[in-house]
Chain A
């Protein structure tokens, strides 16, 4: 197997520091891995521009690859194209739900103020009878919801497009 393929495999072990059930690959923040004679260049993107997890991503990628004796690793930020929740893998979505976080749903165009509201099913009981508590949650990427059927309060991973 080529080194590049191995690196992708090893990166699967690097968790998102804030939602540790997801790997950084599930989250879709690793944009490219390039191996040349001098160094290994890894391009990543941030989810939200102020996300404090970004610096942790960089440190964790380096320390994971160090375990495989790769020390000449350079991690670079790539801002365009901007990250979208569409890049979260299907596996990642399943893991989110199992963890109790509702994965992103197809939201109407947010650039239209006061667009119609949409349903975020409860990750515990799958009920559609839920309501938004706050657009802003424990981290930049999440909103707070509550289920009207089982009463469970839960995080929703906001759709970002």
Chain B
């Protein structure tokens, strides 16, 4: 079961790391100072969350693995982050909607995962949840503000919702290992999270006078490390130092 556990931790840790990297790209480019700070603060939380899991993975793998080798020495097909995390930042509305979908998922997911029978995963969920409530509040408030804002902001954020919607199903995808870990009380059956997630999304969109996207088609693949063309480019930049100067330290 060790391999399944490692793979599951990669799913959680990679999703945090990759979305954290995307949010960090906003550094010095935010629409205003407070928002620049908010997005990079949230990014930092995601990096911290992934570190907790990567050090656990390094411990499970043993040998020369460290949290850094886990983060910086794997290729695209070895990453298990959700597809939404790697979507490009786009404009501010795209970034907010992407975060909103993920934050609502993390909130409901970690609320249950903190009861995991694996003590490290439970501690990770308990700690992360406290940060996620801030993330969800931040992204929800912006969705409402943009939706109930000007004609242009409404049109833009509704377009972001419609375009990113087809990547949301991928968050709930589970592989055989996840099902095994769920039966052991370590992982969570994501089907249970779906109605909770839907309810949060619907209530926020309603407040923002926005429409729930109708499209039923869902793009999947990340649970088996199948990614969009964007992940490789992101990894190139993120891993550059450790690839060029292996084992370099601060």
Residues on A lying within 8 angstroms of B by beta carbon are: 46, 48-52, 79-84, 110-111, 113-114, 133-138, 140, 144, 158, 160-161
Contact = CB atoms under 8 A, between A and B. Distances in A.
Contact of A80 (B34, B37, B119): B119
B204 A113 contact: yes
A110 B137 contact: yes
Contact of A50 (B44, B124, B134, B138): B44
Q: Give the interface size bracket for B toward A.
A: 35 or more
Interface of B: 34-35, 37-38, 41-49, 51-52, 107, 111, 119-120, 122-124, 126-128, 130-131, 133-134, 136-138, 140, 200, 203-204, 207
Given A49-B52, A110-B137, A140 B44 contact: yes
A127 to B, nearest CB: 22
A48 B122 contact: no
B123 A113 contact: no
A154 to B, nearest CB: 15
Nearest to B134: A135
Nearest to B36: A136
B123 A48 contact: no
B52 A144 contact: no
A134 B42 CA distance: 13
Given A48-B45, A49-B49, A82 B137 contact: no
B45 A113 contact: no
A134 B134 contact: no
A2 B220 CA distance: 60
A41 B198 CA distance: 46
A110 B34 contact: no
B34 A136 contact: yes
Given A136-B41, A140-B41, 4 more contacts: A52-B44, A82-B126, A134-B34, A140-B45
B44 A80 contact: no
Contacts of B111: 111
A8 B43 CA distance: 34
Contacts of A79: 52, 120, 123-124, 126-127
A109 B127 CA distance: 16
Nearest to A161: B130
B49 A137 contact: no
Contacts of B52: 49, 79
Nearest to B35: A134
B127 A82 contact: yes
B48 A51 contact: yes
Nearest to A50: B48
A160 B200 contact: no
A80 B45 contact: no
A136 B131 contact: no
A161 B89 CA distance: 31
A113 B44 CA distance: 22
Nearest to B140: A113
A136 B45 CA distance: 12
